[in-house]
Structure 1
C-alpha cells in the first residue's frame, strides 16, 4: 500500500487542532498494531482511513467549506459535503486496492525478489551496471488483460466500483462517487484518459479509447480501441460487456477519479453529465483538475497542447 510520508506528516500536523485527524491516526495505529509484513486486511483498512483523510486535505485546498458527514449506525451516508455558499454537493469516496488481495500482492513480491536475484547474479559476473525487471498487475487478468488492453481495464474497474454504490449514500443530495485508484498505478496520463478517444503517447499514432471516460459514460456494446504493438495489428479490442457507472447509476451527479501519474502528484478528474455541469460547473472546475461530460465536449481542451491551468 503506497502510504506517502509527506501526507502522513500533514495528518500529524492537522491532529494538533483537528479531532478527525487525531481519530484517523488512532484508528490507523490500532489496525497496524499487530501487522508485520505482507498483505493483510487490516493493512487495507488502515490505508482506506489514511486515504480518506488525504482526500479531505486535498479538497480543502479549493477554499470551499468541506464537512465530514458523521457516520450513523445502520445507515449508509456519503463521506463529505462541499459548499460554495450557494450550492452544495456530496462526495462518497471509494478506495480501490489490488484485485485478488494477497494473490496479486504475493506475485508482486515474488517478481521483485526474482529481479533482485538477477541483479546480484549480474554483479557477481563482474558487471558494473546491473538491472532487473519486476512485473505486477494490480487488477489481474493474465492473458485476457494483455489481449484486451483498455477493454479489460474498463470492464474490471466498472465491476469493482458499481457494486460499491449504495442507495443510502446518495440520499442526502446530489452526490459524486469519488474513486481513489492511486494504488493501481494504471493512469500516468489522466488528462488524456478523460477524453472519449485519444492518441497521446500511443505507438504509431494509434487511437485508443479513454479509459476514465468509458468507466463513467460507456454504453453496453460500445467499441473499444486499444494501442497497437506494431503497424498492421488490430486497433479494436472488442465491444464492451458492461455499462458505465453513470449508465448503471443515473442517480449519481458525477464520477470523480483520484489518480497518481508517473511522479507523486495526485490529480482529480470529474466525469459529469452536461445537465449537472450547468449547475455545478463552478464547483467542479475549482475542486478538480480536469472534467468532461457524456458528449465529450471538453475533449478539445483536454487534448490541446496547452497543459496548464484548469482543464
Structure 2
C-alpha cells in the first residue's frame, strides 16, 4: 500500500536535474580511444522522430560529432539539453512567441557550430545562457519547478512538490498557450510557486499543489467535454461546468486530498528527508564509495503514531478517504445541478489503482483475494469484512470490519453527490477511477446514461453499487 522504506536510489527527488536526463549525454558516454569517427551503426542508434525540430536535429548532429572527439576536447553542457524540450520551445516560439525567434536562431547557430568543431568557452557559455533565458521565457512555471527541485537537492524533499508530475506540468504549460482558461490557471500556478518562501515552507508547497491540481483536472475535463472554469468570488459553487454532447450540463467539484494531518505530517516528512541526506553525507565523508539511506513515505500515517499504525492496512485507507471526503465537500457546492465529486489523490496514493473499484479482486503477487478500497469506501455497509495485502505469502489477509457505511450508501449522513471520481496522475500511467450510484438522479432530466457518459469518458476504471463492471478489473 505504502512504501515503508524507500532506498535513496528510488527517490525521484534524489535525481534532481531533469534537464540532464537526455537520451544522449556527452558526459555519460565515454568514447573508446580507437573510435574517433561516427560509424553508420552509431548514428542509427539515435533516430530522430518525424516532425523533430531543427533545434533537436542540430543537437543530435552536435552530440554525434562530439562523441568522435577525445573527452578532453568535447564541448561541455550539451548533455544538459533534451530533444523534447528543444522541440517544445520551438513549437511555442513559432506559434505563439515570434519575438523570441532571434534566441531560437542563436541556439541553432551555436548547435550547428558544435556539430563541426569544439565550441570556445565563450560560445559554450553563450549557448548555456541563451537556452536558460529562452526556457525561462517560454516555460516560466517549469523553470520555477526545477528551481525548487534544485534547491532541495541533497538537502531535503517536499511531498507536495514531489507529487507533481513533471511530464504533466510540461504538457500543461505548453497547452496553456492555446487555451485561455488553462492559461489563467497556469498563471495562478506560477504565482503560487513565487509565494513559496523557502525550502522548509511546506504550507507554500501544499497550496501550490492545489493550483497544479486545478489546472490538471481542467485539462483532463476539457479533452472530453466543453469545459469552463467557475470563478466563485463569494458564493460556494463548484469548480467547473461541462456540457455533454447532448447539451446537458453537469458540474465538477474538485478537492486535492492531502496527507493525514498534513500541516504536521508535511514538516515531519521534510525532516525525515533531511536526516536521510545527512546520513548519506556522513557516509561519503567517511570514505564510502557507495552511500545508501532509507526514509519512510507514509501518507496515511498520523504524525504522532502510538504504534498501532499498519502500513498495509486497507481499512485505514478506506476510513481516511471517507473522512477526508466528508470534511472536504459541502452541500452548497452541489446545488447548481448534477455535480461530480472529483478527488485528486496524488499525495495519498491509492493502493492497487484501477483494481480498487471492485469490491474485491485477486492479487496475483500474493495469490489472495483483496478488498478494493474505493468500492468499499463508497458502497460497503457496516460490518463488511475488509481484506488487505498479506505481510507475506500465506499470511492472514483479514484487516477488520467496516464501522461506518460507505459514502454513497449512508442514508443517515447522505453524501452530496451520487458520483465520485478518484484520480492519480503521479505514476507511470494516469488512473481515474469512477464510482457511482446507478439510481442517482439529481435533476428530473438527468439519467443513469448521462452519468455513464461522464464516467466512461473520463475514467480508466469504473463501477457502481451493483458491481456491474467489477469483473473487468477484479480478475486481471
TM-score (norm 2): 0.57
- Stretches of structure 1 that go unaligned for 5 or more consecutive residues are 306-311
Tell me which residue corresponds to 2:327.
Answer: 163
Among 451, 455, 458, the alignment partner of 1:280 is 451
- What's the CA shift string for 1:157-189, capped at 9, x where partnerless? 2111111221111111111100100122343x3
Tell me which residue corresponds to 1:309.
Answer: none
- Stretches of structure 2 that go unaligned for 5 or more consecutive residues are 1-159, 441-447
How far has the Cα of 1:82 moved from its partner?
2.4
How far has the Cα of 1:149 moved from its partner?
0.4
1:23 counterpart = 2:184: yes
1:239 counterpart = 2:404: no
1:182 counterpart = 2:346: yes
Determine the C-alpha separation between the residues in 1 that align with 2:202 and 2:280: 29
How far has the Cα of 1:128 moved from its partner?
5.2
The answer as to whether partners of 2:339 and 2:417 remain within 8 angstroms in 1 is yes
How far has the Cα of 1:201 moved from its partner?
4.6
How far has the Cα of 1:60 moved from its partner?
2.0
How far has the Cα of 1:298 moved from its partner?
0.8
1:266 counterpart = 2:437: no
Tell me which residue corresponds to 2:419.
Answer: 254
Among 296, 304, 312, the alignment partner of 1:135 is 296
Determine the C-alpha separation between the residues in 1 that align with 2:271 and 2:415: 42
Tell me which residue corresponds to 1:109.
Answer: 270
- What's the CA shift string for 1:215-272, capped at 9, x where partnerless? 2222223221122223664322111223322134354130100124642x32111001
1:77 counterpart = 2:237: yes
Q: Which moved more, 1:126-135 or 1:265-274?
A: 126-135
1:159-238 superposed matches below 5 A: 159-187=323-351, 189-203=352-366, 205-230=367-392, 233-238=395-400
Corresponding residue SS for 2:309: helix
How far has the Cα of 1:212 moved from its partner?
1.1
- What's the CA shift string for 1:45-92, capped at 9, x where partnerless? 221122111111112222x2122223142x211112222232332211
Tell me which residue corresponds to 1:308.
Answer: none
Structure 1 residues 186 and 125, CA, compared in 2 at 3 Å: closer, same or farther? farther
The answer as to whether partners of 1:145 and 1:153 remain within 8 angstroms in 2 is no
Structure whose residues are more often helix by fraction = 2
TM-score (norm 1): 0.85
Q: Which moved more, 1:143-152 or 1:295-304?
A: 143-152
Corresponding residue SS for 2:242: strand
1:42-121 superposed matches below 5 A: 42-62=204-224, 64-73=225-234, 75-86=235-246, 87-120=248-281
Determine the C-alpha separation between the residues in 1 that align with 2:290 and 2:205: 36
Corresponding residue SS for 1:245: coil
How far has the Cα of 1:123 moved from its partner?
5.1
Structure 1 residues 217 and 179, CA, compared in 2 at 3 Å: closer, same or farther? same
Determine the C-alpha separation between the residues in 2 that align with 1:212 and 1:268: 11
How many residue pairs are counted as aligned between the two chains?
A: 300
Q: Which moved more, 1:28-37 or 1:168-177?
A: 28-37
The answer as to whether partners of 1:147 and 1:237 remain within 8 angstroms in 2 is no
The answer as to whether partners of 2:203 and 2:263 remain within 8 angstroms in 1 is no
